[in-house]
Amino acid sequence: MTTPTITTTERDGSALEDEIDAETVLEVLSDDACRAILEATSAKSLTATELSERCEIPASTAYRKVEQLAEAGLLESYVRINTSGKHATEYRTCFDDVQVSVGGGTIDLEVTEPTANADSEPSFTVADD
């Protein structure tokens, strides 16, 4: 079996350094809980507890899957600081598209990352309790 190759590009088409392992990405994309987490975090940043509730999976599974998705380069973490002083880590997807192509004896994986802009979220947010 051939090793999948991966191309990571910005939305404007410029290539990024390959820091994502294609086999790891394919593995997490084949997992139902991981796909549910990706769907949930594509619209809004969520904590592992919120993901557990929204995706209807045990909290321990949510934490494990979040870690796998982060290692695969598909989730980013941010710190949510509540006005009470409590901190929580929240997660969101860090890509726009993932395309898998099979042909010519190869498997290619292309991950398109969002272009950086002034509207992107900060690495922390402040929220009321």
Do residues 72 and 31 lie in contact, with contact meaning Cβ atoms separated by under 8 Å? no
Per the domain annotation, does 34 fall within a domain?
A: yes
Look at residue 105 and tell me if it is in a domain: yes
Residue range of the domain that includes 57: 5-117
Asked if residue 125 is part of any domain, the answer here is no
Determine, yes or no, domain membership for 107.
Answer: yes
Q: Return the CA Rg of the chain.
A: 16
Mean pLDDT of 60-85: 92
Domain assignment of residue 40, yes or no: yes
Q: What total of structural domains would you count in the chain?
A: 1
Q: Is residue 127, in this structure, part of any structural domain at all?
A: no
Domain membership of residue 67 (yes or no) is yes
CATH number at residue 28: 1.10.10.10
Global pTM reads 0.73
What value does the mean pLDDT take over residues 43-50?
94
Query: Is 123 inside any structural domain?
Result: no
Q: Does an H or E element contain 48, and which?
A: helix 48-55
Q: Determine the average pLDDT of the residues in 75-96.
A: 89
Residue 103's contacts (CB-CB under 8 Å, 6 or more residues apart) are none
Q: How confident is the model at residue 74 (pLDDT cuts 50, 70, 90)?
A: very high
Q: What is the pLDDT of residues 106-128, one digit of tens each?
A: 878 888 877 654 345 544 444 55
> Which position has the token pair 């404007």?
12
